[in-house]
Amino acid sequence: MNKGAFLKDAAVISAGGFVAKAMGAAYRIPLTALIGSIGLGVYQMVYPLYAIMLTLTSSALPSALSRLISSGRHPRAHVAALRLYVPLSVAGWLIMSALAPLLAAAQGRPEVEACCRLLAPSLVPVALISAVRGWFQGRGDMAPTFFTEVCEQAVKVGAGILMCSIFRGDAARGVAAAVGAVTLSEAVAAVYAWALYAGAPKPRLPLYDVGGGYGDILKYTLPLTLTAAAVPLSQFAESVALPALLRAAEGSAASLWGIFSGCALTLVNLPVSLCYGFAAAGIPSIAPLAEGGAHGGARRAAVRAVGATLALSLPCAAALFALCPAAADILFPSLGAGERGLLVTLVRVMSVNAVTLSLVQTSSACLTALGLPLRATAVQWGTSLARVALSVCLVAFTRLGIIGAALSANVCYLVAVLLDFWYIIRRRSEHGPVRMLAKRARTGA
């Protein structure tokens, strides 16, 4: 894939991710007005468990399938992937439904149980959508990812506003309607995704080719799943530990944690979603080179993807730093003056993450394309655990308060970027002439 094609594919994916995230952020305005702060709080309580289940049942599929299909060795890897992950997503649905009463009791909100059970079925269509996206991305077609992402958000926003309007004034039913709209949006997007797949031209393959080996699929999906799981699990740990520390120190834990996780991270993730295209487009441009033994070319393509991410994320971070007061006024008009001031401070501190987190997602994808997914997993888990530990230390033993959590994220994502990039550069030396000759000598070739 040449540079122009890579940038075109990255632009398509980035546009879809950014439009979807922007629609989701704008959705918070009418949603808050319709279900109130209590309903919004219940809405947020459901998502930590859902994010973990989503990670375990589908998050690895697009990148893993893109890697396998673009390599040319497994053109129907999506078939075997569906045989593995559709039953897994059904199991996730059942597990999340079974855990709903326990989560509701732990959080002291009975409404959470019904919301979990309404949201859990969406795991199945998400797995289907992820498989279709991975198949198209592996063939170098990024447009279906754009269209399905926008479709998801459009249905969620439209159905959510309509259904919440029906139950306006009833927070419990309103939040259930909002959660139900998410499941409806995934179902509609799954039908649309499979319509795109059914209408796409497919290569002629032997009849005995039924999708490739499960071992090859698990080789990539398991490390990618472990990598993706590090973030939601570490965020869950922070959501348990930090509010308790903040409550002991300042007595306003719920408000502080809500501003950090529900407001500041929403704004920071907007530019990160804009840069996601470089991660998705990098895999099909790098994997064939790595698979064919052109490791120097694969490394250069990876460095190019990381460089393009840096070039886009730097101005995004600067814009986020400068425009966050206006964004806070538009998206979170109900915040008081003190809360707004804290939000602006947090966003400006974490504007660095618009660069580092964007680089992490691209460099992790590049390591996967280079055939080194376990390196990305090790880096993600190591830095995520370090982030939780550093956040606890800064909140507990300094006067930084919740700003300590923002600083720890800055430090740990920077370390993750440096480690990932070191592994990418090191990939060249692992396949240099001396090492190749030594390998041949050991194998007797």
Given CA atoms 392, 54, 22, 163 in this order, what sign does their dihedral have?
A: negative
Question: What integer is the mean pLDDT of 341-347?
Answer: 90
* pLDDT of the residue at 259: 78
**pLDDT 10s digits, 155-176:** 999 999 998 888 887 777 888 8
| Pick from 237, 235, 320, 230: nearest CA to 273 | 320
Q: 3-class DSSP state for residue 239?
A: helix
The pLDDT value given to residue 72: 66
The residue ranking higher by pLDDT, 291 or 90, is 90
Mean pLDDT to the nearest integer, 396-407: 87
Indicate whether 306 pLDDT > 60: yes
pLDDT value of residue 444: 47
Predicted confidence band of residue 430 (pLDDT cuts 50, 70, 90): very low
Q: Structure pTM?
A: 0.70
Count of CA atoms in the C-beta half-sphere (13 A) of 279: 23
CB 200 within 8 A of CB 214: no
Q: How far apart are CA 175 and CA 263, in angstroms?
A: 19
Q: What is the pLDDT of residue 401?
A: 84
Q: Is the pLDDT of residue 212 over 70?
A: no
The set of residues, in sequence order, having a beta carbon less than 8 Å from that of 103 and lying 6+ positions away, is 45, 46, 49, 112, 113, 116
Per-residue pLDDT, averaged over 376-392, amounts to 90
Mean pLDDT within 245-274:
73
CA dihedral 325, 330, 331, 332 (to 10 degrees): 70
**Chain mean pLDDT for the chain:** 80
Q: Please tell me the predicted confidence (pLDDT) of residue 155.
A: 94
Which pLDDT score, from 0 to 100, does residue 235 have?
A: 76
196: pLDDT strictly greater than 80: yes
pLDDT at 439: 45
Mean pLDDT throughout 238-243?
76
Residue 415 has pLDDT above 90, yes or no: yes
User: Residue 436 — pLDDT band, cuts 50, 70, 90?
Assistant: very low
